[in-house]
Structure 1
Amino acid sequence: MKLYLVRHAQSEANVLKTLNTALPGPPLTELGREQAAALAGRLADEPVRAVYASFATRAQQTAAPVAAVFGMEVQPVEGVHEINVGDLEDRADHEAMKSFAAVMHSWTQGDLDVPLPGGESGSEVRARYEKAVADLRAKHEAADSDGVVVLVGHGGSIRLAAEWLCDNVLPELADSSLIPNTGIVELESTDSGWHCLSWVGTPV
């Protein structure tokens, strides 16, 4: 079974360069809608068995064209939303970005108890994301072992999840390799967990 962790297309908050994580969040821009359509085209020949997305508007709107290609509905899933940044919500200033990056760095280095100010700790993000992926694996692995499950989510939480889930994603990769809009981190299930096959098109 393969799991494609896909970052949503360009949202209005991306244009403003704000830390926007509260649900349901802003919609896609016109460019974002074009990116979502292009993503659907890129995946059209893949053996996609199901399309999931976080409850965020931008994730749902990105997943919709992909699901439509395969005659499916987007299935919303709990636990894969973006990191709750708390007091940093909707900020775009240097200090906010510096604070967010510092906490992300701590998490990739294994210190998961450090919280964002007024927001989540790494332990909380890890617990919810790993549960969501475990539930999807239990649902699909036996029936869809030769297929692809698409999960549209968010750049920050995908970077962290890939490190926590996979046996070959190093902290340095999760910490520094930003995922562009509609970028894909491709995972494959193993006996012991997950293995990352590629990070935005680059083999890992």
Structure 2
Amino acid sequence: MRLILVRHGQTPSNVDFLLDTAVPGPGLTELGERQARALPEALADEDIEALYASTLVRTQLTAAPLAAARGLDVLVRDGIRELEAGDLEKVPGDTGPGLLYMRTAFAWAAGDTALRMPGGESGAEALGRYDAVVAEAAASGAGTVAMVSHGAAIRVWAAARADNVDIAFAESHRLDNTGVVILEGSPDDGWKALSWAGASVAPAGEGGPTGSPVTGDGAPA
């Protein structure tokens, strides 16, 4: 299966750089609405057969133009919502508490899934719910599936599940609003990232370090 993970469009909390993970969450800014309207053209070459969004309003608003353009229903699933911030909800993402959020999340990707976000979910719970939606999509038989999700959730799940994305790469490559990560594989056979925000991702030992984006000539970007 080809799996297209899309971060939602810009929200007011993104502008203020606040951790904002609770359901239903804010809507989109004017820029976020423009980003959502641009998605159908950005993904014009993708033969998307199923479209998912999380239970947060911003992902459903981002998915709506793509759904309308393709004649698809938006399948809303709680499992692909953002990683719960717990006690860190609404703190600035660039402060000590905000940085603890991402340190905890990437510890999950590194295998410490028993670790719990302060006042929130554990890594096993967060990755498990995301895995369940991906497994549902794979079982549907669709060849290409798009999921409009969230920046931290996408980066952490990809780092935990894609063979060619390591923790250092996912930590250093934030996704802009409506940034896209494309993977290929299955829950049984594993996943390989094909592109990350438009850059190719090198297989381990080919064209650069594991998880490094490469340019068209194979040199590290």
TM, length-normalised to structure 1: 0.92
**Secondary structure in 2 matching 1:180:** coil
The percent of aligned pairs where both chains have the same amino acid is 45
1:122 aligned residue: 123
Partner of 1:10: 10
Q: Is the 8 A contact 2:110 2:160 kept in 1?
A: no
Do the aligned partners of 1:6 and 1:153 also contact (CA within 8 Å) in 2? yes
Is residue 59 of structure 1 aligned with residue 59 of structure 2? yes
Say if 1:102 and 1:178 are closer, same or farther in 2 by CA, change over 3 A.
Answer: same
Indicate the residue corresponding to 1:203 in structure 2: 200
Mapped partners of 1:117, 1:33: distance in 2: 32
Per-residue Cα deviation, 1:70-89 (whole angstroms, up to 9, x for no partner): 11221112311101111111
Q: Is the 8 Å Cα contact of residues 160 and 174 (structure 1) preserved in structure 2?
A: yes
Q: Distance in 2 between matches of 1:162 and 1:108?
A: 8
Matches within 5 A, 1:68-107: 68-92=68-92, 94-107=95-108
Unpaired segments ≥5 residues, structure 2: 202-221
2:147 corresponds to: 151
Alpha-carbon displacement from aligned partner over 1:114-135 (angstroms, at most 9, x marks no partner): 2111011111111111111011
Matching residue's letter, 2:136: D
How big is the shift at 1:174?
Answer: 2.0
Moved beyond 3 Å, runs of 4+: none
Encode CA deviations 1:96-125: one digit per residue, 9 max, x unaligned: 212213212322322222211101111111
Residues 135-183 of structure 1 deviation map (CA, whole Å, 9 limit, x = unaligned): 110112xxx33xx211000010101111222221112122221111001
Which of 1 and 2 has higher RCO (CA within 8 Å, sep 6+)?
A: 1
The answer on whether the counterparts of 1:130 and 1:165 sit within 8 Å (CA) in structure 2 is no
Q: SS in structure 1 opposite 2:195?
A: strand
The aligned residue for residue 192 of structure 1 is: 189
Deviation per CA, 1:37-78, whole angstroms, max 9, x where unpaired? 111221133211111100110000000001111112211123
What is the rounded CA distance, in whole Å, between the counterparts of 1:101 and 1:76 in structure 2? 25
Q: Report the 3-state secondary structure (helix = DSSP H, G, I; strand = E; otherwise coil) of the residue aligned with 2:25.
A: coil
Letter in structure 1 aligned against 2:82: E
- How many Å apart are 1:18 and its aligned residue? 0.7
The amino acid that maps onto 1:72 is L
Unaligned runs of 5+ in 1: none
Alpha-carbon contact 1:108-1:174 (below 8 Å) kept: no
Distance 1:119 1:163 in 2: 21
